Amino acid sequence: MGKKSLSTESYKGVRDFYPEDMFIEKYIFGKIRETVENFGYVEYGASPLEESELYRQKSGEEIVNEQTYSFKDRGDRDVTLRPEMTPTTARMVAKKRRELAFPLRWYSITNMFRYERPQRGRLREHFQLNVDLFGVEGIEAEIETITLASKILKDFGLKEENFEIQINSRKLLEKAYEPILKNKELFPVMLRLLDKKEKMGVDKFELEWKKLFKEPFEETKNYECPELKRILEILDKRGIKTKLNPYLVRGFDYYTDIVFEVFDTNPENRRSLFGGGRYDELLSLFGEENIPAVGFGMGDVTLKNTLETYDLLPQYASSVDIYLCIVEKEYTEAADTLASSLREKGLNVAVNYTYRKIGDQIKNANKEGAPYVVCVGKKEAETLRFELKELSTGKIEELSTEKIPDAIQK
RNA sequence: GUGGCUAUAGUUUAGUGGUAAAACUCCAGUUUGUGGAACUGGUAUCGAGAGUCCGAUUCUCUCUAGCCACCCCA
């Protein structure tokens, strides 16, 4: 070996997925796939590399300038590892706008990169479900989207009281504060300020507000919106509790109207789980006519944290069904023959070719997490009858290629 | 980008101004065809560098890394 060993740590802020971790990821996204496809969404994908230009205009400047992995390629192009999926999705939809059938229901599960300081619930690479519904102008889109989001959480075993869905409308905010919004430029600034209201404390907030508008802050009096009300009503009727939060705005600039966000209600993990909203004007970036769209993104890190706090993650189970141990080298062929006929039956079979002591091999089978073990030696090679041992119970059943016990038949 | 905490075997943790301990794991053996047991032995330049000191893993500083909070967001 060289003098200087390489570090075994993964790169800052990204994760290695050992089989136990991958098992959880597969569980989470497997379940999500089922639910989302159940609502008629189809899966798409794209490369994590995009031209930086895609993120310059609509994502909010801070994200592109400070929070992305950006570099120049050998052809002198500015390239960025995607920090979010929506621009890519919009680009893909814009490109084939005329060929696609609307309403369009698309979902993807992709990794995202953000150059940030890692901490709980936030890494530099995370995987995210992205769900988008294009081509529905009315509140049916919001209702379906929030229903789906809620269904996903419930399918993981979360209860209604474990999470809280908050909803708001940016359009309504704009209307409510119209008198003091002298120019349009102020609106995004106001959104940011409102977003921070709870965090910064009333005094500081009112001071900032006065600086901005030269007028004292007033609670929105006529915050009445029939559409928002209707959404809340319909969702309520379906048993989905949603709360109006007049200060919810969310970070991305491209949201045009309704935004929503889901919070974990557990005091130990009380943070935003995920959110989304309506973005009706993103396609114009690509010189296309706009298409109404509602979508949300759901990250694996925060979701996993939440499921952990409610103890809703499954125990690891190996994908290996049967672990074959070979007693002596000369019985290898007999073991391989058995393995291949079991594999043909659809069972996942691993063979140990170390020829170590049978006890050690079984120990390894146990460590691997395989539920069943078969040892192949002189007796088995001659009679072609095998003993199938269930490791958790020690129970032994007879096994031959013709007769596979029900327990492991697939 | 700002701040706080931490850094000892593969892992989780003790501990001391006089070069380190335990549990589990791993490897080898007691045991050349059936595991989760027992016993024996092996495995650490105490994160890196510098300083104080007769002597530093222990005190100080710098760096690095990790965790957490802020910012922002998922």
pLDDT digits (tens, 9 = 90+) for A232-263: 999 999 999 898 888 787 777 788 899 999 98
Higher pLDDT, A27 or A407: A27
- Residues ≥6 apart with Cβ < 8 Å to A288: A94, A97
Choose between A127 and A176: higher pLDDT: A127
Whether the per-residue pLDDT at A63 is higher than 60: the answer is no
On the question of pLDDT at A193 being above 80, the answer is: no
Task: Report residue A170's pLDDT band, with 50, 70 and 90 as the boundaries.
Answer: confident
Whether the per-residue pLDDT at A73 is higher than 80: the answer is yes
Q: Distance between CA A322 and CA A89 in Å, rounded?
A: 42
Q: How far apart are CA A54 and CA A64, in angstroms?
A: 10
Contact A59, A84 (CB under 8 A): yes
Domains, chain A, in order of start with CATH, read 19-177+220-309 (3.30.930.10), 322-408 (3.40.50.800)
Mean pLDDT of A286-295: 91
Cross-sheet strand order for the sheet of A386-390? A349-352, A322-326, A372-376, A386-390, A396-399
**Residues forming beta bridges with residue A163, ordered by sequence position:** A264
ipTM over the 0.90 cut-off: no
From CA A31, how far away is CA A154, in angstroms rounded? 11
User: C1' nearest to CA of A275: which nucleotide?
Assistant: B74
Q: Between vectors from CA A39 to CA A35 and to CA A41, what angle results, nearest 5°?
A: 95
DSSP string, A235-270: HHHTT--EEE-TT---S-TT--SEEEEEEE--GGG-
- Among A162-176, A311-325, A368-382, A394-408, the range scoring the smallest mean pLDDT is A394-408
Give the pair of three-digit tokens for residue A244.
């109006």
* CB of A3 within 7 Å of some strand B atom: no
Provide the pLDDT confidence category of residue A221 given band limits of 50, 70 and 90: low
State the DSSP string of A60-87.
-HHHHHHSSEEEE-TTS-EEEE-S-SHH
Q: Please indicate whether residue A200 or residue A280 has the higher confidence score (pLDDT).
A: A280
Task: Decide which of A407 and A291 is more confident.
Answer: A291
Cα dihedral across residues A60, A66, A67, A70: positive or negative = positive
A68 pLDDT higher than 70: yes
> Does the structure show a pLDDT above 90 at A111?
yes
Token couple for A302: 């925060």
CA of A116 and C1' of B11: distance in angstroms? 29
Residue with tokens 């929030």: A146
User: Hey, which residues does A390 pair with through a beta bridge?
Assistant: A372
Residue A249 CB-density burial (10 A; 0-12 exposed, 13-18 middle, 19+ buried): buried
On chain B, which bases lie within 7 A of the protein's CB atoms?
Answer: 1-3, 26, 28, 31-36, 65-74
Q: Is the CB of A380 under 7 A from strand B?
A: yes
Confidence of residue A5 (pLDDT cuts 50, 70, 90): low
| pLDDT exceeds cutoff 70 at A64 | no
Residues A292-332: pLDDT tens digits? 999 999 999 989 988 988 889 888 888 999 999 998 888 99
**Is the confidence at residue A157, as pLDDT, over 90?**
yes
